[in-house]
Amino acid sequence: MPVQLADPIEAIQEPPLPRKTWSREEIEVLESTGLFNDQHYELIEGELISKMGKKRPHVEGVKRMGEALVSVFGAAYVNQEAPIDIAPEDNPRNEPEPDVIVLRRRSSEFTANPGPADLALVVEVSESTLRQDRTTKARLYARAGIGEYWVLDVKGRRLLVFRDPGPDGYRVQLSFGELESVSPLERPRDLIAVADLVG
């Protein structure tokens, strides 16, 4: 007959298991060995996050967002799924790849990944990553001083807008429904309908 344990497993207190955190330099070395093959990752807070296969709603959301931002800023200033350099030199543990970025200079002028001062807007399209995009990535982009960050919530059919970055996160967080429109901070006269983004 099985014996009932005195303490439920939830009550057991153990320290977290040690984890290896990575730097951009270490990841570059690993990539050069061909270890990742066709797998694609982004480096967030020292952890490798798999860029999972994109489902159709996400693909369409990125496409619509890109088209809307190109209509406002021009094709030379809008990149999709391009890495950005946001980590200070003493903590090189981040190299995210937002779904869409808007540059302050033409894309062709860059010989290295753009940094926070080069970015007018950073966008993530969320179908299955909403929690991470609203928390981890929002804090990361705010600490880097990126002035405006958008999250297109595909399932919720809304656009989340983050502004006024600080060391603890964005001080302004807004939600726009599909019947509303929004203007990027750097193009206040150009309205983008949320309905056009969510499809």
**Domains of the chain, first to last:** 53-198 (3.90.1570.10)
Residue 80's pLDDT band, with cuts at 50, 70 and 90, is very high
Query: For the chain, what is the mean pLDDT?
Result: 83
Write the DSSP assignment of the chain as a string of letters: -PPPPSS-GGG---PPPP-----HHHHHHHHHTTTTTT--EEEETTEEEE-PPPPHHHHHHHHHHHHHHHHHH-GGGEEES-------TT----B---SEEEESS-GGG-SS---GGGEEEEEEEESS-HHHHHTHHHHHHHHHT-SEEEEEETTTTEEEEEEEEETTEEEEEEEEETT-EE--TT-TT--EEHHHHH-
Q: Is the pLDDT of residue 74 over 60?
A: yes
Residue 68, pLDDT > 50, answer yes
Q: What pLDDT score does 58 carry?
A: 85
Assess whether pLDDT exceeds 90 at residue 1.
no
What is the per-residue pLDDT for 35? 58
In this prediction, residue 30 has a pLDDT band, given cuts at 50, 70 and 90, of low
